[in-house]
Amino acid sequence: MTAPPASPPAVRAEKLCKTFLDFWRRPRVEAVRGVDLEVPSGSVFALLGPNGSGKSTIVKMVLGLLFPTSGTLEVLGASPRSVEAKRRIGYLPEESRLYPQLTPRETLEFHARLFGLPRAVARRRIGELLAMTGLEHARDRAVGGFSKGMARRVGLAQALLNDPDLVLLDEPSSGLDPQGARQIKDLILALGARGKTVVLTSHLLADVEDVCSRIAIVFNGVLLAQGALDDLLERRDRTCLSFPTPEDPARLERAVGGVRRALGCEPEVMHPRQALEPYFLELVRRARTPGATGAVPSAPLAPYLAGGEKEKDP
Amino acid sequence: MHAFGAIARLAALETVRRPVCLLVTLATLAGTTLMPFFLHYTLGDAPRAVRDSALALLYTGGVLLAAWSAAEAVGGELRRGTAALALAKPVGRGAYLAGKACGVALALAGHAAASVAATLLAVRAGAVEWHTDWTAAGPALAVAPLALAWAAWRNRRHGRPFASAACGALWIGYPLALAVAACRAEPAGGAGFPGNLDWAIVPAGALAALPSLMAAAAAAALAVRLNTVATVSACAAVFSLGLVSGPLLGAHWDASFPARAACALLPDGQAFWLTDALDAGRGVPGGYLAGAVAYAALWAGACLALGVQAFRRSEIP
């Protein structure tokens, strides 16, 4: 019995190059140089690199906003400029690019019409997204008066309107408070669990470690490393043991002595540290009272994003 | 079609929300309304002078507003990044550009309708030498202050943008004022409806408004590559040359290919100015108006087609 064919990669780039030209058509900046990139379908993929390394340029080429100078690029099996392929893509840019005079509801209605969503489907999803992003109380306020974090939430909502198969998130946690950042991570994990492909760029390496299964590291337009996160980060020259701290310190001493005798080296003994994020979130959760101000998500995840309701295709 | 409609609708809304739209609209309509008072002493030529001046304001104000609005609708969005977010959706670049131009043209239709109504009122107000017909001038003068007061109330009470509320009120107010004046006969036993208004101005006004449609298309196409100031300047130059292309280049038509090419490419502004027909009491023939609409639509369509080609080759940073 033959195995089912593997899904084609969501994004495939071969020897991708991008050189920006000046007014006289002379090469000015070589932003991407010979990048071979493959984002497997259904993976949560991080594109990492310092500022100016070419990450955003690659993302914009994937969206068809910039054109490769040379090399090939395929997105969901089609050209990046394919209008039909964009029906399955959601994009959150690094800067929230919203119309300041529109309210969140009007913004999402506009983007829903761009996707060609039926009115009933759009209305339902907009309601769910506003609840998920904690913007229900501000649904009819002009976005121009929002803080950066609230504008970011509107941007996130418009990126998810079409229940995309490929989600591109450029610095998704930028401007968000810790609860918002946690919500983004939970959202990414939920989308990944549903088989969606998520590509994110971020400077927050701890966040990337929490959610991504594969990464690529870019510097100066060159791809330095690419692969599964565990394979890249695992240090096979060291081994850790983790066990509950015994109440009797003498038992711990005996265990350490046993390891010392068996391996002929001095083991390093330390207590693991709790991460700041769960500590912070637990404190806030216990302290939260009704009527608290700010963005307060009322729903963990929009039902349609969690694969809840079955809807007619648009 | 959904995307095209959404983009056109948003472009129309954004156009009326810009303060420059209110400024140009107010200047055009206020200038038209006050024209009979400025032109009292014209030795019997007041109606013609008021009519021609008002139509000229409609023509130039419309072209300026169209060029600026379309330049901001396209170029402004490219600079602010909202165009990138829209084009990351399943929206073709042609649909995007055409939607923007159509949205601006839609907003300008309101401006044109209000200008034509104001022209009709102004011509009636100054029809008699040394005399102001207050049955027309009164409603016309009342529109602007009432519209601004309404917009201020809407802004204070409901937080709606002042500029768009004021524009909307002006565009509705002038036709309403026209309806009020049309219902009242001219003073001293003058004509009643429909003889109390010079309806021949309506097709002439529609003709004078067509260049703004062409300017919107041209500016949308140019804004793909140029900034707002350069776009508006280029449009102003093209339309100014178009107005004088006949007298300037017509003499060289037979001898010079460049002159013929320039005449063919430049928008023939004189084709939209038919006040001589009004002077002769003939009005603008329906067939001529249809031909002018077709010419404007073809010229605008050609500009948009070129703009779409340029846009498809443009990168969106």
Rounded to whole angstroms, how far apart are CA atoms A107 and A154?
8
Helix (H, G, I), strand (E, B) or coil at A246: coil
Q: What is the three-class DSSP state of A271?
A: coil
Tokens of A110: 């506009």
Res A5 pLDDT > 60: no
A239 C-beta neighbours (distance < 10 Å), count? 8
B47: preceding bond cis by omega (within 30 degrees):
no
Rounded distance between C-alpha atoms, residue A97 and residue A95, angstroms: 6
**pLDDT in the model for residue B1:** 77
Interface residues on B facing A, Cβ-Cβ cutoff 8 A: 2-3, 5-7, 10, 13-14, 17, 80-82, 84-92, 159, 161, 315-317
Mutation for testing the A interface, residue in B17, B78, B87, B89 having most A CBs under 10 Å: B89
Give the pLDDT confidence score for residue A292 in this predicted structure.
Answer: 53
Residue with tokens 């330095």: A224
Please tell me the distance from the alpha carbon of residue B243 to that of residue B258, in angstroms, as a whole number: 17
Q: How confident is the model at residue A313 (pLDDT cuts 50, 70, 90)?
A: very low
Spatial separation of the C-alpha atoms in residues B215 and B238, rounded to whole Å: 9
Would you call A53 helix, strand, or coil by DSSP?
A: coil
Query: Cβ(A196)–Cβ(A164) under 8 Å?
Result: yes
Which chain A residue has the Cα nearest residue B85? A97
Q: How many residues are recorded in chain A?
A: 314
Interface test with chain B among A97, A109, A161, A163, by most B beta carbons within 10 Å: A97
Strands A222-228 and A214-219: antiparallel
Residue B236 has a CB neighbour count (10 Å cut-off) of: 15
Mutate: best of A20, A96, A105, A114, partner B, most B CBs <10 A:
A114
Q: pLDDT per residue over A227-238, tens digit each?
A: 888 887 777 777
At A263-277, the pLDDT tens digits run 888 888 887 776 666
Output the CA–CA distances (angstroms, integers) from residue B173 to A10, B117, B169, B273, in the order listed: 55, 9, 6, 26
Contact B315 A93 (CB under 8 A): no
Beta strand residue intervals within chain B, DSSP E: none
User: Is the distance from CB of A198 to CB of A91 less than 8 angstroms?
Assistant: no
Q: Which of A144-153, A234-243, B27-36, B266-275 has the lowest mean pLDDT?
A: A234-243
Residue with the larger pLDDT of the pair A280 and A305: A305
Chain A residues near any Cβ of chain B (below 8 Å): 60, 63-67, 83-84, 86-87, 89, 91, 93, 95, 97-99, 101, 110-111, 113-116, 142, 158
User: What does the pLDDT look like over A6-64, one tens digit per residue?
Assistant: 688 999 999 999 999 988 889 889 999 999 999 999 999 999 888 888 999 999 999 99
Q: What is the pLDDT of residues B107-136, one digit of tens each?
A: 999 999 999 999 999 988 887 777 788 888
pLDDT at A25: 86
The beta-carbon neighbor of B81 closest among A95, A111, A115 is A95
Q: Strand pairing of A197-201 and A166-170?
A: parallel
Distance of CA A122 to the CA centre of its chain: 23
Alpha carbons B202 and B222: distance in angstroms, whole number: 31
- pLDDT tens for residues B284-309? 888 999 999 999 999 999 999 999 99
Tell if the CB–CB gap between A158 and B85 is shorter than 8 Å.
yes
Write down the pLDDT at residue B266. 86
Q: With respect to residue B106, please indicate whether it lies within any of the assigned structural domains.
A: yes
How much is the pLDDT for B69? 95
Q: In what order do the strands lie in the sheet with A11-21?
A: A27-39, A11-21, A70-75
Kindly report the average pLDDT of chain A as a whole number.
85
Strand partners for A38 = A12
Q: Kindly report the nearest CA distance between residue B158 and chain A, in angstroms.
A: 11
The closest CB to that of A114, out of B80, B91, B159, belongs to B91
SS3 A264: coil
**What would the mean pLDDT of B74-99 be, rounded to a whole number?**
93
The answer to whether position B25 is within a domain reads yes
pLDDT confidence band for A280 (50 / 70 / 90): low
Range from A31-35, A192-196, A197-201, B45-49 carrying the lowest mean pLDDT: B45-49
**CA atoms of A98 and A104, how far apart (whole Å):** 9
Tell me what pLDDT residue B293 has.
94
Check whether A69 has a pLDDT greater than 50: yes
- Average pLDDT estimate for B145-171: 93
Tell me: the pLDDT tens digits for B225-254? 999 999 999 999 999 988 888 777 766 666
Domain annotation covers residue B317: no
Rounded Cα distance between B181 and B138, Å, is 9
* pLDDT recorded at residue A245: 85
**Contacting residues of B for A67, CB less than 8 Å apart:** 315
Q: Which is higher by pLDDT, A231 or B162?
A: B162
Two tokens, residue A147: 């803080």
Structural domains in chain B (count) = 1
Tell me the residue type at B144. A
The half-sphere exposure of B18 on its side-chain side, counting CA atoms within 13 A, is: 21
| Facing B85 at nearest CB: one of A89, A93, A113 | A93
The answer to the question of residue B124 being in a domain is yes
Q: How far apart are CA A126 and CA A160, in angstroms?
A: 10
Contact assignment for B91 to A93 by CB distance below 8 Å: no
Check residue A314 and report its DSSP letter.
-
B-chain residues within 8 Å CB-CB of A86? 88-91
Give the list of residues 6+ apart from residue A258 with CB closer than 8 angstroms, or none. Answer: none
% of chain A with per-residue pLDDT over 70 = 88
Whether B200 maps to a domain, the answer reads yes
Query: B10 to chain A, minimum CA–CA distance in Å?
Result: 8
User: Is there a domain that residue B167 lies in?
Assistant: yes
Q: What is the pLDDT of residues B199-218, one digit of tens each?
A: 888 999 999 999 999 999 99
Tokens of A9: 């990669």
A67:B315 CB<8 A: yes
- Does residue A173 surpass a pLDDT of 60? yes
Closest to A115 (Cα-Cα) out of B93, B8, B90 = B90
Task: State the pLDDT at residue A306.
Answer: 73
Q: With respect to residue B181, please indicate whether it lies within any of the assigned structural domains.
A: yes
- Flag if A66 and B316 touch (Cβ within 8 Å): yes
Contact B88 A89 (CB under 8 A): yes
DSSP, res A78: B
Output the DSSP codes for B92-123.
-HHHHHHHHHHHHHHHHHHHHHHHHHHHHHHH
Name which of A158-172, A188-202, A279-293, B152-166 the model is least confident about.
Answer: A279-293
Q: Return the number of CB contacts < 8 Å for A and B.
A: 69
Contact A83 B91 (CB under 8 A): yes
The reported pLDDT for the residue numbered A312 is 47
Q: Which residues of chain A does B7 touch, with a Cβ-Cβ cutoff of 8 Å?
A: 114
Domain of B170, in residue numbers: 2-312
| CA dist A314 → A163, A217, B251, B284 (Å) | 11, 37, 60, 48
What are the b/e assignments for B70-79, b being 16+ CB within 10 Å? bbbbbbbbbe
Beta pairing partners, A32: A18
Q: How many CB atoms lie within 10 A of CB B65?
A: 27
CB contact under 8 A, A65 and B84: yes
**b/e per residue, A40-63, with b = 16+ CB within 10 A?**
bbbbbbbbbbeeebbbbbbbbbbb
CB A214 within 8 A of CB A228: yes
Contacts with B81 from chain A: Cβ below 8 Å: 93, 95, 97
Please check whether residue B121 is in contact with residue B51, taking contact to mean a CB–CB distance below 8 angstroms: no
